[in-house]
Amino acid sequence: MQHFDIILRSGTIVADGAGTVADIGCRDGRIVALGDLRAAHATDIIDCRGLHVLPGIIDPHVHLRDPGDPAVETIPDGTRAAVLGGVTAVFDMPNTQDPVISAAALDRKRTIIAAEAWCDVGLYVGGTKGNIADLGMLEAEPNVCAIKVFAGSAPPANLVEDDVNLEALMRSGARTVCYHSEDEARLQARRALFGTGEPYRMHMQWRDEECAFLGTRRLMALARKTGRRAHILHVSTAEELAYMRDFKGLGTVEVLVNHLTQVGPEVYDRLGGYAIMNPPIRDRRHYEAAWAAVNAGDVDCIGSDHAPHSREAKERPWPLTAAGLTGVQTLVPIMLDHVAAERLSLHRMAQLMSSGPARVYGAVGKGRIAVGYDADFTVVDLRKTRVIEESWIASPCGWTPFAGQACTGWPIMTIVRGHTVMREDEVLDAPAGRLVSFA
């Protein structure tokens, strides 16, 4: 008789376009059988009747802030937030206090993650003017999901904003490079047009559409010149989404859950500094363009850009407000609510939040419910309605821009390589996260 470590029994499996009810048998952290496994034995049988089983959701854009200020977040806190929210793997950004721009910094991160992470983690390496020559070597290091470049909107030490350095960077290494695309010169020039203490809604005027679109035009022109693939993070304008359609094969697109959910200027008037992020939340035209792009197949990944800051930093007058919003824990509930509202299908959600990130970054063993893949599952109840409350937020900073939002559809279980690490709001067992491998 067949024996498995765990069997997920009779869930509706969201895979490869089909929504069929089946059992999933897992052994040693991998999926080893799919189908009718009623005759098999297992150490643990998880009843998934009435629930949907998605391939483990990957959040490809989080800033876990470790090392940084533990009162804001640490790796254990941020990855605990991830599994509470149904996320099985996160890709962590390099702009921490000890920035991940060298092999030594990567080593330090790996040690913490191996001991303390609740979900699996991939690591970005920051591209800077100082490490361009090393990037080919750094992107080949184990567990590196991509090189991340701030082509605008970062402190000078983290910036690569000019064409000469950007071209040199694109010629160093071979894998897809991820970009924060806002044109730095235009951001700086327009800053002088606004005074401190003006309404928070001025954020989307300062950092207007052209800041982002100009950044993306410049980056894609260089990508075409050098032949180096570019992944444009948090694409936020209708103009960029239309433009990126001409770069299939060379350019891929990430859209954020915030840009699919919140709309300016209303969100600024309601949330003040808790609506401030970069690139900014924009008006309804861009929101509608983002949804059209999602459903036209013009988006490759959806992420949260989880970027916690202290309440004190969020409540400063504009534009001294720290930019960035918590989001890894609320990503799945908010997207399930969009599924309930029929803005996208559950299958499209799985494509954009699991197989999409696995494909764009080359994550090994992730992104599919199929034999041989990692036993990573996000098990959801599509009928459950629940209100997002700040008391639920695991990041010590303790706030979410989605407080008070009712969601239909909720993650019930998070399973990471066969370990059930979250069940009905409880984090179980011990941190079992591992570093993700990339092809």
- Give the total residue count for the chain: 439
Q: Which amino acid is at 399?
A: W
We find the least distance from the C-beta atom of residue 50 to ligand DOR, in angstroms, to be 38
We find the least distance from the C-beta atom of residue 136 to ligand DOR, in angstroms, to be 24
Q: Which amino acid is at 297?
A: G
We find the least distance from the C-beta atom of residue 32 to ligand DOR, in angstroms, to be 40
We find the least distance from the C-beta atom of residue 241 to ligand DOR, in angstroms, to be 18
We find the least distance from the C-beta atom of residue 153 to ligand DOR, in angstroms, to be 6
Cα–Cα distance measured from residue 299 to residue 170, given in angstroms and rounded to the nearest whole number: 22
Nearest to 304 by CA among 264, 241, 255: 255
Sign of the alpha-carbon dihedral angle for 379, 384, 388, 389:
negative
Of 90 and 277, the one with the shorter C-beta distance to ligand DOR is 277
Of 181 and 420, the one with the shorter C-beta distance to ligand DOR is 181
Of 119 and 323, the one with the shorter C-beta distance to ligand DOR is 323
- CA 433 from chain centre, in angstroms, equals 17
Residue-wise DSSP of 69-111? -TTT--HHHHHHHHHHTTEEEEEE-S-SSS-S-SHHHHHHHHH
Q: Which two tokens mark 353? A: 């939040």
Residue facing ligand DOR at closest CB distance: 324
We find the least distance from the C-beta atom of residue 368 to ligand DOR, in angstroms, to be 29
Of 109 and 368, the one with the shorter C-beta distance to ligand DOR is 109
Strands (E), 277-370: 301-303
| Residues of the chain by 3-state class (helix, strand, coil), percent to 5 | 35, 25, 40
DSSP state for residue 425 in the 8-state scheme: T
Of 99 and 251, the one with the shorter C-beta distance to ligand DOR is 99
We find the least distance from the C-beta atom of residue 324 to ligand DOR, in angstroms, to be 3
- Residues near ligand DOR (CB under 6 A) are 63, 95, 153, 180, 277-278, 307, 323-324
Q: Which two tokens mark 355? A: 């197989």
Of 12 and 321, the one with the shorter C-beta distance to ligand DOR is 321
Cα–Cα distance measured from residue 427 to residue 94, given in angstroms and rounded to the nearest whole number: 26
We find the least distance from the C-beta atom of residue 323 to ligand DOR, in angstroms, to be 4
Of 319 and 324, the one with the shorter C-beta distance to ligand DOR is 324
Q: Which two tokens mark 302? A: 């959806």
Of 278 and 355, the one with the shorter C-beta distance to ligand DOR is 278
Q: Which two tokens mark 131? A: 């490490």
Cα–Cα distance measured from residue 434 to residue 439, given in angstroms and rounded to the nearest whole number: 16
Q: Which two tokens mark 331? A: 């990503």
